[in-house]
Structure 1
Amino acid sequence: MIIKTIEAKKVNLELLHPVVVAIGSIHSCETVVVKVETEEGIVGYGEGIGVTFVTGETVDTILSAVGVLKNELIGLDPFAIDHIHSVMDRTLIHNASAKAAIDIALYDIMGKHAKMPLYRLLGGIADQMETDLTVMIGTPEEMTEEALQIVGRGFHHIKIKAGLHSEEDVEAVRRIREAVGPHIHLKIDANQGWSAGDSIRIIQKMAELGVEAVEQPVPAWDIDGLAYIRSKSPIPIMADESCFSPQDAAKLVKKDAVDIINIKLMKCGGLYRALQINTIAETNGVRCMLGCMMESRISISAGAALVASRPNFIYGDLDSFFYFKESPEIRGGFTCTGPRLKLSEEYGLGIKVDF
């Protein structure tokens, strides 16, 4: 089996409302869908979406990168995933979302050829996982109302965006905790918005409010700051923007800087690299969360299959598709009941795409 063609196109994803975080805001969204076909006629679909203030990519740079990469990949065996990543990495540095799109499509092909859904191809037995839902930055009153709506939809885990104004961050969490009660799981994501010194003070207050993890409190480059915060923190510290690659994960665990790593397929280059990061974390006693950017059902299906296949993932943060109107061009992959994503039993991703 060899790769015959690789194609890519833009798909518009219509947001229900803007998404606001500490380091930027998203008002509209396009993604890149990649179609890989083998000489035997097996087709796999993948997705790449860049967030400029996180990965530095746009849909146009992803399209360009896929165009460069395909010239090196046509004729290769789609099952030779380690070799394919080596070829992609020596052809282009960075461009993780473009590589993720190709990687996901190849895993879709592998599942279809093996006649297995992706979660089983990855070694899993569970066919479902639970995601949180995110409260975006707003006034404390707005954030509390959003949290109540989330709980009303049956969610047990809420991720709260923070990092613009520390006192408002604490006040928002206080109000949310009072509103939702003691049994809802709360995580805070500061998106690099605090200093190391401020983080200690804020985290102490968050601990009193029953917050169970704080994500990326300081700038991505400040690994020493993360390690300092972790040494003083009464609750687990999670890295996000500080970890793009397996090498980043190795640095984080070597410095004892984190309790949890947030892996995102678009940051690391797809499922293959995500599996490597999870292995590094697990062998060093660090747990993982699988997060997302603003992906469609294609990448969310891949991420959900990964979470379902590996017990070291204690959290799923795969909520981006809740912010879009359903796209008629992209269907399947999973069904959703409240916070639970039940994976398709169709082979591969179980995704249907009008390409």
Structure 2
Amino acid sequence: MKITDIKAEKVRIELTFPFRVAFAEINYSENLLIKVSTDEGIDGYGEAAPLPFVTGETIDSVVSVISLLRPGLIGMNPLDIEKIHELMDGCIYGNSSAKCAVDLAMYDICGKLMGQPVYKLLGGYSNRVQNDITIGIDTPEAMAEEARAHVLKDGFHILKIKAGIHVEEDIRAMHLIREAVGPKIRLRVDANQGYDTSDAIYALTEFKKVGIEAVEQCLPYWDFEGSAYVRSKVNGIRIMLDESIHNHLDAARACQGGCADILNIKLMKCGGLFRASQINSIAEAFGVNCMVGCMMETKLATTAGISLVASKKNITEADCDSFLFYADEQTGMSGGFTRENDVFTLLDAPGFGLNISF
């Protein structure tokens, strides 16, 4: 089997309302879908969802990188995924979401060729995932009301709450949210690099009082030592790293340094399912669990992320919820998985099992 062609198509995803985090306000996302064709008539689809302040990419840079990689990829066997990653890394440093698009297309082809869903190719541990839903930064009162609605109306049992701008407001928000949803709902916080060390220790100490189970990326992405220090000072609340973890080398550094209890893997940060599986294997070797998160992705990359969660026992959490904030939840694609409240069930269709055509 050989790759014969690669085509790309830009898509713009509109959010139903602005989404605010510590370092940005997001109103829409421009992503790139790619179609990889083969000489056996099997097509695979992949996606890049660049985010400049996380991956260092824009939609235009992704288009350029795919054009750069295209001549080398044509003629390769799509089953040779490690060799394809070697080619991509040899051609250009970083550019992880562009590489992710290629990686996902290869796995989609593999699944279709073998007549198996991608989650089976990756490990096949399960086909069901319980997902969280994210609450963006707003007034504490508005955040508490949104939390109540997600629990009572939407059936979610795990909430991820954005923070990291004003510590005292964050603390007040957590108290109001806990009052709004009751004691049984699982709560975790994402500071998106918004704290310094002293603020992080103070915030986590207060968060612990309302039963926050984990706090994600308290400090700047580069401050591994600071994360280890915060972890040593606050017991009973798990420390998660996200923006710090772009590849398997970052995972090894974090685990060796005692910097985290859980790593957040994002396909767009690491370059796809192949690299994501490496990160999980390293974490598992150190007794560290993983979560799979997402950027502003269509149902294609979302299905890939959920497939990774379902396939691995060590990946215990899912934060693949961005599509729930779109004007079109399906993003023009049917299939992939079904959703009943916060439980996502993958289909057993070959590849990612999505209906896409361009």
Fold-level match, TM-score > 0.5? yes
Aligned ranges for residues 247-258 of structure 1 at < 5 Å?
247-258=249-260
Aligned ranges for residues 238-317 of structure 1 at < 5 Å?
238-317=240-319
Deviation sequence 1:54-99 (CA, Å, 0-9, x none): 1111111111111111111111111111110010001010100000
How far the C-alpha of 1:122 sits from its partner, in A, is 1.4
- 277-286 or 21-30: bigger deviation: 21-30
Any runs of at least 4 consecutive aligned residues in structure 1 with deviations exceeding 6 A, and if so which?
Answer: none
How far the C-alpha of 1:312 sits from its partner, in A, is 0.7
SS of residue matched to 1:220: coil
- 2:193 and 2:221 in contact (8 A); partners too: yes
Task: Identify the residue that residue 45 of structure 1 maps to in structure 2.
Answer: 45
Task: Identify the residue that residue 132 of structure 2 maps to in structure 1.
Answer: 132
- 1:302 and 1:349 in contact (8 A); partners too: yes
C-alpha root-mean-square deviation of aligned residues, in Å?
0.9
Aligned ranges for residues 79-94 of structure 1 at < 5 Å?
79-94=79-94
**One-letter amino acid matched to 2:354:** I
Task: Identify the residue that residue 230 of structure 2 maps to in structure 1.
Answer: 229
Structure 1 length-normalised TM: 0.98
- 146-155 or 266-275: bigger deviation: 146-155
Deviation sequence 1:119-156 (CA, Å, 0-9, x none): 11212142111110001000001100110111021100
- 50-59 or 175-184: bigger deviation: 50-59
State the distance in 2 between where 1:25 and 1:304 align.
25
Identity of aligned residues (%): 48
SS of residue matched to 1:28: strand
| Structure 2 gaps, min length 5 | none
Instruction: Give the alignment partner of residue 345 of structure 1, picking from 322, 344, 348.
Output: 348
Deviation sequence 1:292-349 (CA, Å, 0-9, x none): 0100100010111110010111110000110112256322211111111111111000
- 13-22 or 239-248: bigger deviation: 13-22
Deviation sequence 1:195-216 (CA, Å, 0-9, x none): 0111111101101110000000
State the distance in 1 between where 2:9 and 2:65 align.
12
- 1:329 and 1:354 in contact (8 A); partners too: no
- 2:125 and 2:313 in contact (8 A); partners too: no
**One-letter amino acid matched to 1:231:** S
State the distance in 1 between where 2:158 and 2:321 align.
11
Task: Identify the residue that residue 330 of structure 1 maps to in structure 2.
Answer: 333
- 228-237 or 157-166: bigger deviation: 228-237
Task: Identify the residue that residue 28 of structure 1 maps to in structure 2.
Answer: 28
- 2:248 and 2:275 in contact (8 A); partners too: yes
**One-letter amino acid matched to 2:353:** G
State the distance in 2 between where 1:37 and 1:316 align.
31
- 1:170 and 1:202 in contact (8 A); partners too: yes
State the distance in 2 between where 1:88 and 1:48 align.
14
State the distance in 2 between where 1:123 and 1:253 align.
23
- 2:10 and 2:30 in contact (8 A); partners too: yes
State the distance in 2 between where 1:340 and 1:70 align.
38
Deviation sequence 1:236-278 (CA, Å, 0-9, x none): 1000000001111111111111100000000000000000000
SS of residue matched to 2:30: strand
State the distance in 1 between where 2:56 and 2:341 align.
33
State the distance in 2 between where 1:142 and 1:329 align.
31
**One-letter amino acid matched to 2:339:** C
| Structure 1 gaps, min length 5 | none
How far the C-alpha of 1:27 sits from its partner, in A, is 1.2
- 1:46 and 1:100 in contact (8 A); partners too: yes
**One-letter amino acid matched to 2:76:** L
- 2:14 and 2:27 in contact (8 A); partners too: no
Aligned ranges for residues 32-181 of structure 1 at < 5 Å?
32-152=32-152, 153-181=154-182
Deviation sequence 1:181-236 (CA, Å, 0-9, x none): 11000000000000011111110110111000000000001111001011112211
Task: Identify the residue that residue 195 of structure 1 maps to in structure 2.
Answer: 196
- 2:299 and 2:331 in contact (8 A); partners too: no
- 1:330 and 1:354 in contact (8 A); partners too: no
State the distance in 2 between where 1:208 and 1:278 align.
31
State the distance in 1 between where 2:194 and 2:85 align.
33
How far the C-alpha of 1:354 sits from its partner, in A, is 3.1
How far the C-alpha of 1:13 sits from its partner, in A, is 1.4
How far the C-alpha of 1:111 sits from its partner, in A, is 0.3
How far the C-alpha of 1:29 sits from its partner, in A, is 1.6
State the distance in 2 between where 1:163 and 1:328 align.
30
SS of residue matched to 1:273: helix
Q: How many residues align?
A: 355
